[in-house]
Structure 1
Amino acid sequence: MSGDIAWVELPAADTTKARTFYGGLFGWTTTEFGGDYHTVDNGPAGAIAPRAETFTHPRVYFATDDVEVSVKRVHELGGTAEEIQDVPGVGRLVHCRDDQGTPFSLYEPAAQA
């Protein structure tokens, strides 16, 4: 449903330490998805990912039925959006900021065959 939290990414300077921490705290296990990106197996829909200069706080992805329409609305409301990214087999996503500069992301799931 549009507006629901669909995915959360936790940035970590050391993903091995982060996986140990959250595993000890919540019992989470993870699976490497690619590179140093680890999806959570038995917790919230999300991942532990390498921290980057532009990715220092948890990133929340809100579900949308049409990412292009949502990006247009973000702009109309005074926010900004980066380029939409297509992730094969996953869907489409875009990183945005609201009209006060708060970062968030939008996610449109891939169509089911």
Structure 2
Amino acid sequence: MSNRELTHHSINYVELPAADLAATKLFFSGVFNWQFTDYGPDYTAFSNATINGGFYHAPLVSDAAVGAALVVIYSADLEQTQHAVEQAGGQVCKAIFSFPGGRRFHFKEPSGNEFAVWSDKGSAEI
């Protein structure tokens, strides 16, 4: 865990499954500049993502369609981030759409976990 000041009752850490830890690490380090520390062959912790967390080796996926929590990442340039996600092997599962407060898209990373990226920059109709 980081040396950041902890705030009482704040979300401090999140853990997600990953069928392919190596591909997941490569994806998030390449697209979002997350840093990883391995703790054995079945767990890797990430940092440099505002909140810290980790991926544990498992044949499961986190998918909002079946009730899993959705991790949402902020981007100052939504289209550029979507392009980077696609170039790194992520699959867009919900194209950019508007919602009150901004726009976002959803994607699945190489292990199949669903994430979303949102931006409050620009309000172009998609």
TM-score range, shorter chain: 0.3 to 0.5
TM-score (norm 1): 0.48
